[in-house]
Amino acid sequence: MASHADLEEPLRRLRTRLAELESFPESPARNRDIQKLTEKLRRLTREIYQNLGPWQKTLVARHPLRPYTLDYARLLLRDFVEIQGDRAFADDPALVAGFGFLSDRPVAFIGHQKGRDTKEKIRRNFGMARPEGYRKALRVMKLAEKFGRPVITLIDTPGAYPGLDSEERGVSEAIARNLYEMSILKTPVLSVVIGEGGSGGALGIGVADVLAMLEHSVYSVISPEGCAAILWKDQARAQEAAEALRLTAGDCKALGVIDEIIAEPPGGAHSNPVEAIETVGRFLRSELEKLQKTGLEKLLAGRYAKFRRMGVFEGSPSSK
């Protein structure tokens, strides 16, 4: 399966037939058929989306109509103000940041941003941030710490930008610095993988007290294509790689990497963006409520313990 369109082909066929039927004059037989077909469409949608394999989920996670960070900001936040620039080199439109009210609670809001049309995709660099994106994110996190605001980050990137300028300006250092500073940031941090969690570029805003993934999002150390290219010298074997990498929300939960899986609408977040965004909103509000009741010391100790535990090995356990 090469694209998301293949996955939805049976649904598309049903929708076409349904549209045809709807154009017929009303009759009891036609209405009965419409009802049957609608029911079948719903059943099939559920069936397809409940049984997505790792590669299919990768395709859904990259679906061009999936809600992006700024869609969440628009729908969930009141009086959102975008903050721009890293104060050292430039602004990075591939990673957006700002402040807004989530219900009545002021929060810092940070996330990778992909584009919808060609022009926007290029401007947003397909959601692949450069060092200035990570440095801007840190700048906003430090502001949040200073003014006692919790931080929400949305992860949706194929990875940090692997370009010449990115290396020149120290993308490694920028990501590393964020890992370090987020570890000790004196305010609650909540992260949700909303689409693609692409390696270090994702983790660079993902050191959080609570980490969740949308049901059909993926989180991986390397893209399935990249993994296949290295292991089998063949990008076309991405499907096998996706299976081997254990990158689905269910896998990440089982491996102890994430805390929660947020359910998507029956046909995926792109089939009903408003519902998807509102579900995430409810999750964020209830988790923030809990986190803000936790004392700072306990919060930071919990964050340390959470990441310190990650990994599977044999031998004596960590002293902590």
Partner 1 sequence: MWFRSTKTPRAPRDPRTSASLGEGLFLKCDGCRETLYVKEVERNLRVCPKCGYHFRMPIEERFRMLFDEGEFTPLFQDVRPSDPLKFKDSKKYKDRLKESETRAGRPDAALAARGKLDGIGVLIAGLDYNFMGGSMGSVVGEILARGAETAVKERLPYIVITASGGARMQEGILSLMQMAKVSMALTRLGEARIPYLTLLTDPTTGGVTASFAMLGDITLAEPKALIGFAGPRVIEQTIRQTLPEGFQRSEFLRDHGFVDLVVPRASQKPVFSNLIRLLFG
Q: DSSP character for 117?
A: S
Q: 16, 84, 183, 286: which one contacts partner 1 (CB under 8 A)?
A: 183
Query: How far is it, in rounded angstroms, from Cα 144 to Cα 165?
Result: 29
Shortest reach from residue 258's CB to partner 1, in Å: 9
Binding flag, residue 247, partner 1 (CB under 8 A): yes
Binding flag, residue 245, partner 1 (CB under 8 A): yes
Binding flag, residue 288, partner 1 (CB under 8 A): no
Pairing of the two strands 77-82 and 95-102: antiparallel
Query: How far is it, in rounded angstroms, from Cα 193 to Cα 262?
Result: 10
Q: How many CB atoms lie within 10 A of CB 153?
A: 28
Shortest reach from residue 184's CB to partner 1, in Å: 5
In this complex, which beta carbon is closest to partner 1, that of residue 231 or of residue 296?
A: 231
Q: Which stretch binds partner 1 (CB under 8 A): 4-12, 74-82, 143-151, 166-174?
A: 166-174
Binding flag, residue 227, partner 1 (CB under 8 A): yes
Q: 169, 216, 239, 284: which one contacts partner 1 (CB under 8 A)?
A: 169
Binding flag, residue 297, partner 1 (CB under 8 A): no
Binding flag, residue 118, partner 1 (CB under 8 A): no
CA distances from residue 285 to 102, 244, 248 in whole angstroms, order as listed = 7, 35, 24
Binding flag, residue 230, partner 1 (CB under 8 A): yes
Binding flag, residue 61, partner 1 (CB under 8 A): no
Q: 21, 90, 176, 261: which one contacts partner 1 (CB under 8 A)?
A: 176
Residues 6+ apart with CB under 8 A from 229: 235
Look at residue 309 and give its three-state secondary structure.
Answer: coil
Q: Which stretch binds partner 1 (CB under 8 A): 35-43, 167-175, 259-267, 279-287?
A: 167-175
Greatest Cα pair distance, the chain, in angstroms, is 74
Fill in the per-residue mask, 248 to 287: x = in contact with partner 1 (CB under 8 A), - = not in contact: ---xx--x-x------------------------------
Binding flag, residue 65, partner 1 (CB under 8 A): no
Shortest reach from residue 78's CB to partner 1, in Å: 32
Query: How far is it, in rounded angstroms, from Cα 86 to Cα 129?
Result: 12
Size of the site for partner 1 (CB under 8 A): 59
267 contacts 274 by C-beta, under 8 angstroms: no
Range list of H helices, 24-87: 28-50, 54-61, 69-76
Query: How far is it, in rounded angstroms, from Cα 186 to Cα 182?
Result: 9
Closest CA to 94 of 162, 176, 184, 17: 162
Fill in the per-residue mask, 196 to 225: x = in contact with partner 1 (CB under 8 A), - = not in contact: ---xx--xx-xx-----------xxxxx--
Query: How far is it, in rounded angstroms, from Cα 265 to Cα 87?
Result: 40
Query: How far is it, in rounded angstroms, from Cα 207 to Cα 247?
Result: 18
**Which residues of this protein are in contact with partner 1, per CB under 8 A?**
159-164, 166-173, 175-177, 179-180, 183-184, 199-200, 203-204, 206-207, 219-223, 226-227, 230-232, 244-247, 251-252, 255, 257, 303-304, 307-308, 310-316, 318-320
